[in-house]
């Protein structure tokens, strides 16, 4: 299966039904987070560039939106960090002009928000969800493992500056990693930072799918509740129901597309696709038997992951 910069629609935990736009190839990122469900970073960089041809991305977007599908958002997300692509503003502006009926969203680690030009590119995006897992340099490096050129203080100041001028919906996500960023004293410091932002919603999350490092475990329900209380945060919910009635061949391709983006259980895939768990079980087993997928067991169940190794790409 070739790499496509546009994927979905995928039901999102916070954004409803969303068409995903991936502006970098797997897996180019400014961090190598220990919990990342997309696997280890193969090209870690803090340099913006054309990691995907904007003309090609725009062509794919136009083709997918030509039939005016029912969507809640077009979302910049995917395998790596979308703000690394210097064409982010160009692509976002094209969607606003050519497809104004669709809201736009950005999922970002926020590491490049110290760049005023990037903040300007993101200012018109309807929803920006930024990750902040720590306000302590040592913990930040342990959890997010950023590129050496990333400065936490510059990142946090950039997020603060963006929040003051941003008129859209700002979401701030904290990913709780037991033993690293879950100490009450640290969470209290994070709360002070969040209190200094403009209007935003703070969300808390923990491991649900296989992460990059096998030692990362989910936080307990009690730990999540206690952290949420300190942070004034809300939990991120589960996926919404998808659309069913697909032909078996289409459903198998859909499953492969989904698990190439994130590991999923049979129940996850049933919720996303709208197909029965029995149908999913058969098709996922076929993908595994053919070598297109692998399995990994976590406390929540058996997860299916796509087998692929596209390799890193440099900006053109």
Specify whether the CB–CB gap between 153 and 187 falls below 8 A.
no
Q: Where are the alpha helices (DSSP H) in the chain?
A: 54-65, 88-98, 116-122, 137-144, 152-165, 184-195, 221-231, 248-261, 266-273, 277-289
Q: How confident is the model at residue 311 (pLDDT cuts 50, 70, 90)?
A: very low
Spatial distance between the Cα atoms of 218 and 178, rounded to a whole number of angstroms: 7
Contacts of 290 (CB under 8 A, 6+ apart): none
Look-up of token digits 């969203």:
105
- Rounded to whole angstroms, the Cα distance separating 29 from 140 reads 15
Q: Which fold has domain 241-316?
A: Arc Repressor Mutant, subunit A (1.10.10)
The reply to whether domains 6-240 and 241-316 share a CATH topology is no
Q: Which CATH class is domain 6-240?
A: alpha beta
Q: Give the residue extent of every domain in the chain.
A: 6-240, 241-316
Per-residue pLDDT tens digits for 76-123: 987 899 999 999 999 999 999 999 999 999 999 999 999 999 999 999
CB 58, CB 281: distance < 8 Å: no
Q: How far apart are CA 116 and CA 270, in angstroms?
A: 42
Q: Per-residue pLDDT tens for 159-214?
A: 999 999 999 999 999 999 999 999 999 999 999 999 999 899 999 999 877 778 88
């Amino acid at each position: 299966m070739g790499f496509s910069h546009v994927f979905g629609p995928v039901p999102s935990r916070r954004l409803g039904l969303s068409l995903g736009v991936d502006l970098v190839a797997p897996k180019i990122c400014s961090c190598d987070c220990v919990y990342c469900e997309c696997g280890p970073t193969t090209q870690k960089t803090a340099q913006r560039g054309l990691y995907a041809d904007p003309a090609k991305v725009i062509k794919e977007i136009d083709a997918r939106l030509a039939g005016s599908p029912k969507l809640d958002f077009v979302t910049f997300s995917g395998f790596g960090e979308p703000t690394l692509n210097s064409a982010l503003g160009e692509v976002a502006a094209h969607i606003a002009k050519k497809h104004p009926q669709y809201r736009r969203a950005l999922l970002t680690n926020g590491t490049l928000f110290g760049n005023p030009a990037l903040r300007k590119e993101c200012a018109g995006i309807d929803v920006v969800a930024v990750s902040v897992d720590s306000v302590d340099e040592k913990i930040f490096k342990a959890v997010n493992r950023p590129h050496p050129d990333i400065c936490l203080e510059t990142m946090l100041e950039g997020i603060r500056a963006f929040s003051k001028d941003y008129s859209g919906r700002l979401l701030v996500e904290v990913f709780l990693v037991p033993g690293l960023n879950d100490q009450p004293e640290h969470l209290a410091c994070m709360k002070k930072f969040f209190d200094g932002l403009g209007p935003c919603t703070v969300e808390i999350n923990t491991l649900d799918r296989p992460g990059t490092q096998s030692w990362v475990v989910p936080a307990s329900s009690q730990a999540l509740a206690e952290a949420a209380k300190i942070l004034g945060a809300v939990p991120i919910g589960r996926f919404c129901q998808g659309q069913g009635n697909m032909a078996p061949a289409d459903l198998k391709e859909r499953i492969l597309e989904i698990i190439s983006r994130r590991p999923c259980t049979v129940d996850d895939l049933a919720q996303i696709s709208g197909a029965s768990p029995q149908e999913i079980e058969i098709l996922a087993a076929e993908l595994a038997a053919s070598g297109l997928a692998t399995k990994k067991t976590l406390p929540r169940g058996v997860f299916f992951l796509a087998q692929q190794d596209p390799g890193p790409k440099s900006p053109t």
